[in-house]
Amino acid sequence: MDKGSINIVTVSDDNYSCHLGVMLCSLFENKSTEKVIKVYLIDVGISDSNLNKLRKISNTYKFKLEISRFDSETFNNFETRSHISNAAYYKISIPDLYPNLEKVLFLDCDLIVKKDIEELWNINVESVYLAAVENPLFNRYDELFLPEGTITFNSGIMLINLAKWREDNISQKVTKFLEENSHKIRLHDQGGFNALMYKNWKEISPKWNQQSKFFELSYKQTTFTKEAFLTAKKDPSIIHYTTSSKPWHYLNTHPYESEYHKYREISPWGKVMFLDKNMKNSVIKFFLKVIPKRQYSKVRLLKSLVHYFAK
């Protein structure tokens, strides 16, 4: 199963190309493995100037960057919500785009890799479709036609057995499911993947996908052990900024927002220029930082009050 190199697949449109670059800088800054890392990029409309910056990162860290422009009208009809674009659906086509690969590690753009990736790559997935981290607090089982209590996974970081996907026609089945249901599910590609593969995936340590919601939860609300949950929060291997509020937004207060900025500043895009930084948002950000993360309802109330009085 592709033992000679670590194969990373990612997908981006032009809006997220900068954040992809930051993710790649973090991946290679923290690389200690002797294995060669190859990066396969599914390009969904990235501009020439941003592609050149991504190639500059490739030259700096001396890794192979294979860029495939992929235009599929199939995904244009799939529903999108919030900050998600239809680029998220393109990961469904990975088995067809890379027929010579049997195993890949898929990484979203909105994340920071803090540790060497080889430990994750070496996880055995020969008998399963993929390895991933639980998506805690999922409860919309009816949307995906899943049995009550099913544990679902986050699709932003997946170690995928492409050979098994091809053998069982997973991409075609997920596409058909989403053609019929994307208008009524909230989790986009993640919903389709879980609907088709919920019986045959491997749970891995949450340190490999520290999701933003972890800071509003107790480990008892997950299937994680207390030790694994605390490690994921305090010493993550991958930080995944999973909500619509991202570190490149001025009002973001993620506990690890500085990690994004650290790698952003060494990327070709340089320091973030916050277009939404003003007096009103500075007041809001101050109060968001002093209120405990788990008091989410109070945060929402405070934001409403500050917006009202700052008009």
Give the pLDDT confidence of 273-294 residue by residue, as tens digits. Answer: 877 778 777 777 777 766 655 5
pLDDT higher than threshold 50 for residue 1: no
Q: Give helix then strand counts, H and E, for the chain.
A: 12, 10
One domain for residues 287 and 235? no
Query: What residues does 12 pair with on adjacent strands?
Result: 43
Which phi-psi region, left, alpha or beta, contains residue 69 (left: φ > 0; alpha: ψ -120 to 50)?
A: beta
* pLDDT given at position 304: 62
Domain membership flag for residue 265: no
* pLDDT given at position 190: 85
One domain for residues 243 and 285? no
One domain for residues 223 and 290? no
* pLDDT given at position 180: 84
* pLDDT given at position 65: 97
User: pLDDT (tens digit, 9 = 90+) per residue, 146-155?
Assistant: 899 899 999 9
Its domain, for residue 108, covers 5-248
Q: Tokens representing 126?
A: 């020969």
Domain membership flag for residue 261: no
pLDDT higher than threshold 80 for residue 159: yes
pLDDT higher than threshold 80 for residue 183: no
Cα distance between residue 57 and residue 278, in whole Å: 33
How sure is the predictor about 305, in pLDDT bands with cuts at 50, 70 and 90?
Answer: low
Is residue 102 within 8 Å of residue 161, measured between CB atoms? Answer: yes
Is residue 131 within 8 Å of residue 123, measured between CB atoms? Answer: yes
One domain for residues 171 and 233? yes
Which phi-psi region, left, alpha or beta, contains residue 7 (left: φ > 0; alpha: ψ -120 to 50)?
A: beta
Helix axes 17-29, 257-264, angle to 10 degrees: 90
pLDDT higher than threshold 50 for residue 64: yes
Q: What is the CATH number of the domain that holds 16?
A: 3.90.550.10
Domain membership flag for residue 163: yes
Domain membership flag for residue 222: yes
Cα distance between residue 149 and residue 238, in whole Å: 26
One domain for residues 27 and 120? yes
One domain for residues 180 and 287? no
One domain for residues 181 and 229? yes
Cα distance between residue 241 and residue 163, in whole Å: 30
One domain for residues 153 and 61? yes
Among 237, 242, 234, 230, CA closest to 207: 237
Domain membership flag for residue 263: no
* pLDDT given at position 20: 98
Domain membership flag for residue 69: yes
Q: How many domains does the chain have?
A: 2
Domain membership flag for residue 43: yes
CA distances from 213 to 140, 203, 254 (A): 17, 18, 10
pLDDT higher than threshold 80 for residue 297: no
One domain for residues 82 and 9? yes
Final residue in a domain of this structure, among 248, 265, 289? 248
* pLDDT given at position 70: 76
Instruction: Please give the biggest Cα pair distance in the chain.
Output: 60
Cα distance between residue 88 and residue 71, in whole Å: 13
Highest mean pLDDT among 22-31, 287-296, 297-306: 22-31
Mean pLDDT, to the nearest integer, of 138-165? 91
Q: Across all residues in the chain, what is the average pLDDT? A: 88
Domain membership flag for residue 272: no
Cα angle for residues 149, 206, 161 (degrees, 5° grid): 80
* pLDDT given at position 300: 57
One domain for residues 114 and 236? yes
